[in-house]
């Protein structure tokens, strides 16, 4: 590293990122499944354009305001994978978007389908199916009836989608991918059958799915490392941080929850990992302190040493940053604005 940057800051290895983008694009193409990456992970126009250049069918986003950011940058095929409730304000924004780009959104109730049809006549939707994550979506058995209601109300139903979020746990990926395929097959919609998430995407049923929507694969993170769904050589984003305090077998880095995010699943081994010390664990995290424990006998780093933290959940890390500092061979080569940061509405 020849970087001399104020810490903490978020850096991206551009070579690793590009390799991750190409690997996923090639894999999807090879399996004959459309790739519609979830842009909530990176929130950067530069990465979105590269994904499309490599063959992505379009982008997935989580909110209307994320769609607005990417539409303004010329990305013209957007799926908002979210059960949006159309207030008058939001409906006006959806109409505006639908007039400029190919827009699809999620729907998971008859009531919201009817409200959407009134607010945005003819809007293209995908019916959300719950494949086991139990967050939103109807049961597969209910999907056909909801699709019919939506069509009758005046929406254009393009298919079904699911998020197998229950894959986020050790050893759960294969079952979650099977659940995903089974749910989409049972929903039996015409057209799109969209699924996928970074932990399941390699296991997705290519006989059922027509589209996958992974997000985290672009950067990797400590959750994926600990699930075994990415390798250390696939981690593209880290947080550069400085050792500010040390005692015993512990030391403190200046990267806290205000730069890393506080995400910690019950099965995670800590609040993040260290690129330079794979065996270390962040055992406590406060707003500006990451307390790191090293195995017995491993010498502590020095005060002032700069280390790279791999955050647990990279999507929330990116959402805290104003820009990503892009590196190549350890030197800064570019800065990308996190254009859709805080685009929550």
321 binds a copy of itself (CB under 8 A): yes
Helix (H, G, I), strand (E, B) or coil at 16: helix
296 binds a copy of itself (CB under 8 A): no
**CA–CA separation, 91 and 93 (whole Å):** 5
Residue 46 Cβ, how far from a copy of itself at the closest point, in Å?
A: 20
Phi, psi of 238 (to 5 degrees): -140, 165
Among 23, 89, 118, 156, binds a copy of itself (CB under 8 A): 89
Nearer to a copy of itself, 42 or 264 (CB): 264
Task: With residue 238 as reference, give the H or E element that holds it.
Answer: strand 237-247
Within 12-51, the residues that bind a copy of itself by CB under 8 A are 40
Count of positions on this chain that bind a copy of itself (CB under 8 A): 58
Q: Is 95 exposed, middle or buried (0-12, 13-18, 19+ CB in 10 A)?
A: middle
Among 15, 26, 29, 111, binds a copy of itself (CB under 8 A): 111
> How many Cα atoms are found within 13 Å in the side-chain-facing hemisphere of 55?
16
Of 19-27, 117-125, 172-180, 241-249, the segment contacting a copy of itself by CB under 8 A is 241-249
Of 1-9, 118-126, 143-151, 180-188, the segment contacting a copy of itself by CB under 8 A is 1-9
Among 313, 326, 336, 339, binds a copy of itself (CB under 8 A): 313
Q: Are strands 290-293 and 211-212 parallel, antiparallel or unpaired?
A: unpaired
Tokens 């006549």 belong to residue: 121
Among 19, 95, 277, 289, binds a copy of itself (CB under 8 A): 289
118 binds a copy of itself (CB under 8 A): no
Among 158, 264, 273, 281, binds a copy of itself (CB under 8 A): 264
259 binds a copy of itself (CB under 8 A): yes
197 binds a copy of itself (CB under 8 A): no
Closest residue by Cα to residue 285 from 203, 222, 237: 222
The contacts of residue 83 (CB under 8 Å, 6+ apart) are 106, 107, 108, 109, 112, 128, 136
**CA–CA separation, 135 and 86 (whole Å):** 20
Phi, psi of 160 (to 5 degrees): -130, 155
Nearer to a copy of itself, 3 or 202 (CB): 3
Of 50-58, 96-104, 176-184, 337-345, the segment contacting a copy of itself by CB under 8 A is 337-345
90 binds a copy of itself (CB under 8 A): yes
Tokens encoding 64: 């209307």
Q: Is 78 exposed, middle or buried (0-12, 13-18, 19+ CB in 10 A)?
A: buried
Answer whether the bond into residue 8 is a cis peptide, omega within 30°: yes
Among 222, 252, 294, 339, binds a copy of itself (CB under 8 A): 252
Among 157, 167, 243, 326, binds a copy of itself (CB under 8 A): 243
Tokens encoding 324: 């990503």
Tell me how crowded residue 74 is: count the other CB atoms within 10 A of its CB: 11
Residue 321 Cβ, how far from a copy of itself at the closest point, in Å?
A: 7
DSSP 129: B
Which parts of this chain interact with a copy of itself (CB under 8 A)?
4, 6-9, 40, 62-63, 65, 82-85, 87, 89-90, 108-109, 111-112, 115, 135-137, 165, 242-246, 252, 254, 256-259, 261-264, 284, 286-289, 291, 303-304, 313, 315-316, 319-322, 342, 344-345
């Amino acid at each position: 590293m020849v970087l001399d940057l104020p810490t903490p800051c978020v850096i991206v290895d551009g070579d690793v990122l590009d390799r991750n983008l190409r690997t996923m694009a090639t894999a999807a193409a090879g399996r004959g499944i459309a790739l519609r990456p979830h842009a909530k992970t990176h929130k950067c126009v530069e990465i979105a354009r590269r994904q499309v250049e490599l063959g992505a069918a379009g982008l997935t986003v989580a909110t209307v305001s994320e769609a607005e950011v990417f539409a303004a940058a010329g990305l013209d095929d957007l799926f908002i994978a979210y059960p949006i409730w159309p207030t008058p304000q939001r409906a006006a924004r959806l109409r505006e978007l639908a007039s400029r780009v190919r827009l699809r959104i999620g729907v998971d109730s008859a009531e919201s389908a009817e409200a959407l049809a009134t607010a945005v006549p003819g809007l293209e939707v995908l019916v959300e199916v719950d494949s086991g994550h139990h967050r939103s979506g109807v049961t597969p058995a209910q999907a056909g009836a909801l699709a019919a209601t939506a069509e009758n109300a005046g929406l254009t139903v393009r298919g079904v989608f699911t998020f197998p979020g229950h894959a986020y746990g050790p050893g759960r990926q294969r079952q979650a991918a099977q659940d995903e395929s089974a749910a989409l097959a049972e929903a039996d919609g015409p057209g799109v059958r969209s699924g996928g998430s970074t932990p399941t995407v390699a296991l997705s049923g290519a006989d059922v799915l027509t589209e996958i929507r992974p997000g985290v694969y672009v950067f990797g993170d400590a959750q994926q490392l600990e699930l075994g769904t990415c390798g250390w050589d696939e981690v593209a984003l880290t947080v550069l941080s400085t050792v500010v305090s040390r005692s015993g077998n512990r030391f403190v880095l200046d990267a806290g929850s205000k730069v890393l995010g506080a995400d910690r699943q019950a099965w995670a081994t800590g609040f993040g990992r260290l690129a330079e010390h794979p065996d270390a664990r962040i055992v406590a995290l406060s707003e500006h302190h990451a307390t790191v424990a090293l195995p017995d006998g491993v010498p502590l780093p020095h005060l002032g040493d700069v280390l790279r933290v791999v955050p647990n959940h990279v999507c929330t890390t990116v959402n805290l940053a104003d820009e990503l500092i892009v590196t190549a061979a350890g030197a800064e080569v570019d800065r990308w604005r996190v254009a859709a940061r805080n685009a929550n509405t």
